[in-house]
Amino acid sequence: MSTHRLLPIDPQTGRARDLRSLASHAAAFGPLPILPPSADGHPGPLIEAIAESRLCGRGGGWFPTARKMQAVVDSAAGRRKRSPGSRPVVIANAMEGEPASGKDAVLLAHVPHLILDGIQAAAATVGATDAYLAVHRGTPSIDDLERAIAERRSDLVRVELITPPARYVASEESALSHWAGDDTATPVYGDRPFERGMNGRPTLVQNVETLAHLGLIARHGGSWFAEVGDAQAPGTTLVTVGGRVRQPGVIEVPTGTPVSDILARCGGVDGPVEGFLTGGYGGAWVASEALWSAEWAPAQVREAGGVIGAGILWALDAAICPLHEMARVATYMAGESAGQCGPCRFGLPSVADDLTDLARAASTREDLARINARLALVVNRGGCKHPDGTARFIGTGLTVFSAEVAEHLGGGCSASRSGASLPIPKIRKTPVKRAGKDFR
Amino acid sequence: MSKQVRRQLHLDPTLCDAHGFCAELLPELIDLDEWGYPVFIAGGLVTDVPEVLAGEAKRAVTTCPVGALRLTKNE
Ligand SMILES: Cc1cc2nc3c(=O)[nH]c(=O)nc-3n(C[C@H](O)[C@H](O)[C@H](O)COP(=O)(O)O)c2cc1C
Ligand code: SF4
Ligand code: SF4
């Protein structure tokens, strides 16, 4: 059974095919069937195939897509009686805020029409009258995407390309809905987008990989989708593999594939690796041996102490100081706070500063205790999950690399090579004081 | 039949400006962190309010200068 579903491979080159034109797309995937839309407060009939597929969102949360769609339809139906102007909205999330992720960019560059098919399928299913494709400002494929959208003549809902700022939290779903409505990309607390999103309308936010899978489910059905992969979260999934592997990049595998197989597909690890980063900078570190034997499916990775999140698997080179890497990422994440909530705005920078001292081997046991106490203080207290993800990244790292922490507390560092490994976009030293032009 | 009323206090962390009045009025439910922001002792951003504190909770809601607190009642 082929597992190259989203990204068909060119047998000649062994690489993903370029299916940017509508003609090549239609030839490779076949036509998109007619999609009867949602009516009378019920989802469109495709909902049954989506439920049967057990498709879960690939943007990080792995939430069942059919359930989110049903929630959007229900909230629109409940609202229509009172305010007729609240038809649903679909927002396709191609922001790919995680710096170590590459999968959404690969989809945009190779199979944009599969994403656009998925947007049409989602819009029909929830009865949306407006649809947006959000790519962060400065994305190289923007012109191609405009062209792809213009090429499509039979779409029921016109897709508008929007370009929020390339800030980590701008791609959180309430921030995206906020941006689509009034050009401010800060997270909104309280209203959940499926109830009150863009301009108060029920808003379905889905990651573009989720939507690309939907484009295939619309063609082949739900049981076809679930033919491969893990029983609970079936199908294939994209993994961005990076760090100390011979051929880093994005690969498509069935969920439930052993991590050792994923690494083998990327040429194997290229030197000693003590820990893996799973899920990204809002994800979790896992000790090498614990992850090696796990299967790449949400429940199994969680059991190993990690999180699939946006599908990132990063093998940290054991020669590099993990605490130095963690301090760089923590500083970046602290600077990405939208600055709206105290624990995030003050807590993250203070933890990042303490971690920087620890990386320099300039900390005491009390300093370490303070980091741990503050990590507990930033969790479950933000308007969005940005501080929670960051705290998990730091907390799991301190545990997985506890031997290195002890070394640093004693004034040493066992790194044999200086230098940085994890990619960091521009670092802002302090979060914005009040959300302003940075988020516009 | 006596009705079971569940009162809950909700904090919107994006609005709160660390004025701290709420912790003064409801020390049984709210601490302040080192930056002056309220911490619900039971954790999270929503906390149950026992009957005896209902009046104080209402006062906290009206005293908060930025409207970051909200009280709900379910039966
Ligand atoms: C701080 C933060 C950043 C996020 N960044 C992204 C992102 O870059 N891309 C994405 O698809 N989802 C991101 N998410 C998750 C979205 O809020 C949302 O859950 C997701 O797009 C829903 O799509 P899915 O159900 O298809 O996974 C982020 C969440 C948080 C809390
Ligand atoms: S938790 Fe941080 S990023 Fe999220 S809304 Fe609050 S300040 Fe913004
Ligand atoms: S009174 Fe209002 S602004 Fe002041 S700490 Fe409490 S919730 Fe925050």
- What domains lie within chain A, and their CATH numbers? 22-225 (3.40.50.11540), 236-317 (3.10.20.600), 322-409 (1.20.1440.230)
> Helices (DSSP H) in A45-141: which residue ranges?
46-53, 65-80, 103-110, 112-126
Residue B3 has pLDDT above 90, yes or no: no
Q: How far apart are CA A251 and CA A253, in angstroms?
A: 6
Instruction: Express each pLDDT in A27-38 by its tens digit.
Output: 999 999 999 999
Touching check for A175 and chain B: CB below 8 Å? no
pLDDT computed for residue A386 by the predictor:
98
Tell me the nearest-neighbour CA distance from A347 into chain B, angstroms. 8
Decide if A119 contacts A92 (C-beta within 8 A): yes
Tokens 């020390």 found at: B27
CA–CA separation, A6 and A17 (whole Å): 10
ipTM of this predicted structure: 0.94
What is the rounded distance in angstroms from the CA atom of residue A383 to the CA atom of residue A368? 26
Per-residue model confidence (pLDDT) at position A1:
47
Amino acid at A190: G
Contact A204, A195 (CB under 8 A): no
SS3 assignment, position A143: helix
Q: What is the pLDDT of residue A429?
A: 74
| pLDDT tens digits, B11-68 | 999 999 998 899 999 999 999 999 999 999 999 999 999 999 999 999 999 999 999 9
What sections of A102-249 are H helices per DSSP? 103-110, 112-126, 142-151, 173-182, 208-220, 222-225
A218 near A156, Cβ under 8 Å? no
Ligand 3 atom closest to the CA of B23, numbered from 1? 6
Residue A2, pLDDT score:
60
The verdict on a CB contact (< 8 Å) between B18 and A189 is: no
Distance between CA A381 and CA A296 in Å, rounded? 30
Cα of B32 to nearest chain A Cα, Å: 11
Q: Which of B8, B14, B41 should we substitute to test contact with A (largest number of A Cβ atoms within 10 Å)?
A: B14
> How near does any CA of chain A get to the CA of B17, in Å?
8
User: What pLDDT sits at residue A434?
Assistant: 64
B14·A381 Cβ contact <8 A: no
Q: What percent of chain A has pLDDT over 90?
A: 89
Q: Which residues of B touch A377 (CB under 8 A)?
A: 33-34, 39
Q: What is the CATH number of domain B6-74?
A: 3.30.70.20
* Residue B74: predicted pLDDT: 86
pTM of the model: 0.96
Q: Which residues of chain A lie closer than 8 angstroms to B34, CB-CB?
A: 377
| Atom of ligand 2 at shortest range from CA of A381 | 1
In chain B, where are the structural domains located?
6-74
Q: Which amino acid is at A254?
A: P
According to DSSP, the β-strands at A236-243 and A130-134 are unpaired
- Dist. CA A318–CA A273, nearest whole Å: 5
10-residue averages of pLDDT along chain A (440 residues): 87 93 97 93 97 98 98 90 80 97 97 98 97 93 95 95 95 96 92 92 97 98 98 98 97 98 97 96 97 97 98 96 97 96 96 97 96 97 97 98 97 87 85 72
Whether A192 and chain B come into contact, CB under 8 Å, resolves to: no
pLDDT at A82: 64
Give per-residue burial for B37-51: e unless 16+ CB within 10 Å, then b: bbbbeeeebebebee
**Cα A389 to ligand 3 centroid, rounded to whole Å:** 25
Q: How many CB atoms lie within 10 A of CB A419?
A: 11
Paired with A159 in beta bridges are: A131
